[in-house]
Structure 1
């Protein structure tokens, strides 16, 4: 009962069976109207939020409605029975297991399609659709921790910057890893010289490095090749947190930032990558892509098998999480189609163009706010915190930041696909009035 894209329409009878034999249907009850009445205040609140979504500027969420074709795809999946009874993507989507009510075929093909986009060797990528970007980061860090411990007999130290996503702090604590916080350059990217010094101070420990491709607040990009140049000659694992930027960079002139295989000598530039589905893509539920090479996964699996008895599901699952959502991989499969990739390219161009427009206008008319953008690759503009009224009206994220030897409150705008130039003009006008 693996629900593949080729045979899922054959399950339409299952949906009919569920509708006919449900306890509600058998009891002759129609509680739906009552349910709507109970939740009507909440529905009104949701409608208001939907109308206001164009003014949400502070967080990396694409609030555009997905295209109509996505909802038609959802209907097809629903008609086939998906999400009407208990499917479960437990286990490795690349291996046959005993529990066959899953969407592993969709998931496997989804990972292979995105693996090509991120420059993994063809048919030599492993991964799955996770619950979130944090879940993807967890798997990258866990695989790195496991492999380095196995290779050296010593737990690694984990290296990241203060500008990295806060999930890295949480995960390093969960996995009992000693942290080494690396300094940053002025733009928020990892200071490669400081990394070198801190690696030299910890030569007895393998290095698990988390590089950020698009830091949370400033939108800086850590230099993958710069980091790797300082790791030569030692045991290391390099994981990329590319939550937002990983969605759109492949559709820009900066696509090489995320290539897993180096063009010159075909060597790997990093070991694993995490990308969020609900940020740039606009998938309407938290989810994440996690990808690594087949070679890395097979080495990890050999160690993972020592702590996992495969008898129950007839395979070593490869994932920390056991039961996994079957609906999300089948739905997100839609975003890997040729038409969707074309739309994503258009969205990426619009985002970066509008971010450039916002930055230029602020430099021209609101220079006192000291607006900054880390470069043409980033959709983020950060500046001195405006009034609380504007922060609330536009749902701006605010953080304290050290700048010119002073701690100052800053806000930022993340120009996502739902943010139009008209909205930015209104925002600029409000800023000029404060």
Structure 2
């Protein structure tokens, strides 16, 4: 219980506690509390200890008055609610008109998702495995499976998925894919990939092992491996990996190369001059065309790291990128495999037998049953959040002679790739985060619990999953042919090329080094960070980058993405803003027509 004497003493004479102004009318908070929430001398709920309008004041959105959105216990009147919604609509529309800086599509009017509005009044919950209907009937798993088949084909996986479809008369295919539609976006997929990879490499039981044993109560791994590190995987990823990868390895307690290297092998790092282990593998060094590097993982350094750690017996959990967050770069996944697989083979990590003992109860008796499977001593996951859903169509355009090049292979046509993730809100575009995580049926780890009441195996990372997302993904694929998506993929590249050209022209016009850079086939253009108001108006992403070879020196970059909803007119609008005086307040300029230094 909270008493009416509770007060904040943050300073000043502003009312606090139960006399704090609250709601659209800015009336004292206590005046809106109904009798059912009051007690003698107090309340059943807590009053504000400061004025939220002041605490949450944000100069970036002055047109949205926070008081309009405050919800008192009496709820809002129809008039106040509509006024609040009008303010939110106006803000979102203004942001939508000039949105450029992040790899998501915000202008979705042409996607036709209004046809799905009926389902906004339904609860759609795809809890549990997508290939088992379960007991919660209000689901769209039968739609989800069609979406998964679509992307399995696009990613050269073996499909359809055989999960709970097997029988003695109709045996399944363990090489088929398995996956699901995500609720969080690729962060969820990266979390699951690291979880699955960790347990796979740590020798936890496979789902196939559980089915073969026909019972649970599995043991830890039983193996002939003699290395003490045989089931101690290490997470290896590049310095351009998404922050969700760092979050995932931390959440799953998989040590990074820095954590295990500086702890067990201090001073022995093969890629640094002093032997200190960095958190991640560096990306390619700067060149004349890419002054801060192109964002692709440095395969030479990756080789050395893998060779050292595999030589110590550690399984390798490797995360590669296909469309990095800040540079839009694509790791050469096929080349990585060509270079590191011989190293893994040399150290006995290309293939090994892992067994698990199961306690089996049959005919009133209990006995042990050992199940063994061949596994790799590595797990290679491709974070294709940005590129996984549209680069296949660029490859089709290239194959048809409609575009000059294609990206490197990244999918299941490469037999060493064990999982892939993509974000559906990046491409094809969705009203909320979503995506797809996909691996192979035979690699699926047995879940730690069996929640019988949902009527479906708990194989996904999340419990309840958004069933509407499957409808969104399905609707787009049902209305957009391969040819149309290939055309859109080419269009994204054309606008990116146009944007890079316009920024280089602006650079020459202003006589200023704008740090313009675009990685190969990237839909991301980098340039010097402009005035904060321009950053806000165009939702630009910014980042401080160390100057290579100059200790303690940094440059500030901004960037934008030419997603499918971006056109030349929007690019021109940004260029025009950047042409105005004061657009680059901290920039050093040279005289018109004078040379300027592109290098660091």
Given that 1:163 and 1:216 are in contact with CA atoms closer than 8 Å, whether structure 2 keeps it comes out as yes
Structure possessing the higher relative contact order (Cα contacts under 8 Å, 6 or more residues apart):
1
Report whether the alignment pairs 1:332 with 2:473: yes
**Is 2:311 aligned against 1:208?**
no
Is 1:137–2:190 an aligned residue pair? yes
User: 1:90 matched to which residue of 2?
Assistant: 127
Query: In structure 2, which of residues 179, 203, 219 is the aligned counterpart of residue 127 of structure 1?
Result: 179
Are 1:178 and 2:255 counterparts?
Answer: yes
Whether contact under 8 Å (1:278, 1:284) holds in the other structure is yes
**How far 1:88 moved relative to its partner?**
2.1
Equivalent residue number for residue 15 of structure 1: none
Residue 370 of structure 1: aligned partner: 515
Distance in 2, Cα, partners of 1:364 & 1:138: 42
Query: Does the Cα contact within 8 Å between 1:54 and 1:419 map onto a contact in 2?
Result: no
Q: Is 1:40 aligned to residue 181 of structure 2?
A: no
Q: 1:311 aligns with which of 449, 452, 463?
A: 452
Q: Could you tell me which of 235, 242, 245 is aligned with 2:387?
A: 245
Q: Are 1:119 and 1:259, in contact at CA under 8 Å, matched by a contact in 2?
A: yes
Matched, 1:257 2:409: yes
Q: Is the 8 A contact 1:127 1:290 kept in 2?
A: yes
**Among candidates 144, 148, 156, match of residue 111 of structure 1:** 148
Q: Given the superposition, is the C-alpha separation of residues 390 and 99 from structure 1 closer, same or farther in structure 2, using an over 3 Å criterion? A: closer
Separation in structure 2 between the aligned mates of residue 49 and residue 197 of structure 1, nearest angstrom: 48
Question: For residues 36 and 378 of structure 1, do their structure 2 counterparts lie closer, same or farther at Cα, with a shift above 3 Å needed?
Answer: farther
- Counterparts in 2 of 1:215-234, with a 5 A limit? 215-229=324-338, 230-231=340-341, 232-233=344-345, 234=349
Spell out, residue by residue over 1:326-346, the C-alpha distance to the aligned partner (whole angstroms, 9 max, x if none). Answer: 222123210222535444333
TM-score (normalizing by structure 2): 0.61
Indicate if the aligned counterparts of 2:334 and 2:410 stay in contact, CA closer than 8 A. Answer: no
Contact 2:515 2:528 in 1 (8 A): yes
From 225, 243, 261, give the equivalent of 1:166: 243
The runs of 5 or more residues in structure 2 that have no matched partner are: 1-73, 161-175, 204-220, 258-279, 285-292, 350-376, 396-405, 584-600
Whole-angstrom distance in 2 between the partners of 1:51 and 1:343 = 29
**2:121 partner SS:** coil
The answer to whether the 8 A contact 2:235-2:318 is kept is: yes
TM-score, normalised to structure 1, is: 0.83
Q: 1:95 to 1:41 in 2, by over 3 A?
A: closer
How far off its partner does 1:361 sit? 2.1
Partner of 2:300: 193
- Counterpart-to-counterpart distance in 1, 2:506 and 2:111: 39
CA shift, 1:39, in A, is: 4.5
Per-residue deviation, residues 246-294 of structure 1 (Å, max 9, x unmatched): 22111103266333114xxxxx141111111111212111111111122
Aligned to 1:257, the other structure's residue is in SS state coil
Whichever of the two has the greater Rg, that structure is 2
- 1:399 lines up with 2:543 in the alignment: yes
- Is the contact between residue 212 and residue 240 of structure 1 (CA under 8 Å) also seen in structure 2? yes
Q: What is the CA RMSD across the aligned residues, in angstroms?
A: 2.3
Give the match for residue 569 of structure 2: 422
Deviations along 1:337-357, one digit per CA (max 9) or x if unpaired, are 253544433322221101101
**Structure 1 contact 130–288 (Cα < 8 Å) conserved:** yes
* 1:155 correspondence with 2:307: no
Q: How many residues align structurally?
A: 386
Evaluate the alpha carbon distance shift between residue 40 and residue 144 of structure 1 in structure 2; reply closer, same or farther with a 3 A threshold.
same
Q: Of residues 452, 462, 465 in structure 2, which corresponds to 1:321?
A: 462
Inter-partner Cα distance in structure 1 for 2:309 and 2:567: 48
Asked if structure 1 preserves the Cα contact closer than 8 Å seen for 2:327 and 2:526, the reply is yes
Counterparts of 1:96 and 1:38, CA distance in 2: 39
Q: Aligned with 1:337: secondary structure?
A: helix
Q: Which residue of 1 aligns with 2:36?
A: none
1:64 aligns with 2:107: yes
SS of the residue 1:196 aligns to: helix
